[in-house]
Amino acid sequence: MENLTINTAVKQTLRNIKMTLPMLFGVIFFMGLILQLIPNSFYSILETKNIFGILIATGFGSIVAGTPVNSYILGGEFLSKGVSFSVLAAFLAAWVTVGVIQFPAESSLLGKKFAIIRNSCAFISAILIGFLTAILLGFWV
Amino acid sequence: MKKFIDFLIEKIGVSGIFILSLLIFYLITFFVRPKIFSTAINFSIETSLKVLPIMLLVFLLVFLSNFFITSSKIKKHFGEEAGIKGWLLSIFGGIISSGPVYMWYPLLADLKEKGMKNSFIVAFIYARAIKIQILPLMLFYFGFKFTIVFNILIIIFSSINGFIAEKLLNAKSIL
């Protein structure tokens, strides 16, 4: 891998593009379809205020995908509907760190074992962040 | 059935199966729910056009990494002996990186091949939950206390995730 020529670097990059592009567009089109299929009423489930709220929020945040801006806008709506900060924190953390929709791309480029372990760790972490946020905000008087 | 799946994997690969399934899903939606089909297509094309410039930038970074960054450099800054500097660089990189996470997979896969530790890749991906560019929006929606607590927790959990994932990935008995 040391001292590559331009030709070799171009060839490696083209190989990378060939491997990556179909999966990336696949994920975008998958996301497009899934987001249209989720009914608006589903979002109201998140208003559950207890441990189930955190679990549902983590699960929901893991399945849907999009830019963090969208998660803030959705999160703002949840808050106005009475969703707690712990549920909100779990939702925001899972939204960015767990990627069920992106799993095929992550798995194909970084390895199946890597993708499974990384997403599982991130899923559990989102739940813990939900609890810790509630505790830490409670202490902050 | 298993034989058929194995045959498909051999012929078109896992990514081919994913794309094929997606085409079938779209085809079914076209006949069953044409309105959803057109909204999904429009949304996907719009998103693709949005990410295209970032993709070009990422592939340029991949090219530059292929040309300039050697395995020995990656091993030095993100390899086994990288230490605290490796953690800080990965988390900082994750925080300042923009665009959807899947845009970064090709570059991360390239750096992994050159010797970047799994723990640093995991920390990079996790730290992307902090977005400096849209921090004002977070403050506006959720307030100062929540923003501070949430972002500090993300930084701490970036390292925890990286550390645990590395241990699990090195454990031979898992998966």
pLDDT digits (tens, 9 = 90+) for B45-67: 988 887 788 778 778 877 887 77
Which pLDDT belongs to residue A77? 73
Is B78 exposed, middle or buried, given 0-12, 13-18 or 19+ CB atoms closer than 10 A? buried
Give the pLDDT of residue B95. 85
**B88 and B147 part of one domain:** yes
Alpha carbon dihedral A80, A86, A87, A91, in 10-degree steps, equals: 100
Contact A38, A74 (CB under 8 A): no
Residue B58 located in a structural domain: yes
Residues within 8 A of A (CB atoms), B 74-93 only: none
Number of domain units in chain B = 2
Smallest Cα distance from B86 to chain A, Å? 18
> For residue range A59-98, what is the model confidence (pLDDT) as tens digits?
988 887 666 777 887 788 778 777 889 999 999 999 989 9
* Higher pLDDT pick, B154 / B69: B154
d(CA B129, CA B120): 15
B74 Cα to chain A: minimum distance (Å): 11
Chain centre to alpha carbon of residue B38: 28
Is B61 part of the contact surface with chain A (CB cutoff 8 Å)? no
Q: Which residue among A36, A102, A117 places its CB closest to the CB of B165?
A: A117
Residue A141, pLDDT > 50, answer no
The pLDDT value given to residue A98: 93
Nearest alpha carbon to residue A137 among B141, B143, B168, B127: B143
> Looking at chain B from residue 123 to 152, which residues have their Cβ under 8 Å from any Cβ of chain A?
125-126, 128-129, 131, 134, 137-138, 141-142, 145-146, 149-150
The structure's pTM equals 0.74
Which pLDDT value is given to residue A28? 81
Same domain assignment for residues B46 and B83: no
Give the domain range for residue B60. Answer: 2-65
Query: What pLDDT does residue B15 have?
Result: 72
Residue A1 confidence (pLDDT): 44
Q: Are residues B118 and B135 in the same domain?
A: yes
Note the pLDDT of residue A49: 61
Residue B175 forms part of a structural domain? no
Mean pLDDT confidence for B147-170: 95
Neighboring chain B residues of A84 at a CB cutoff of 8 Å: none
- Please judge whether A13 and B63 are an interchain contact, meaning their C-beta atoms are less than 8 angstroms apart: yes
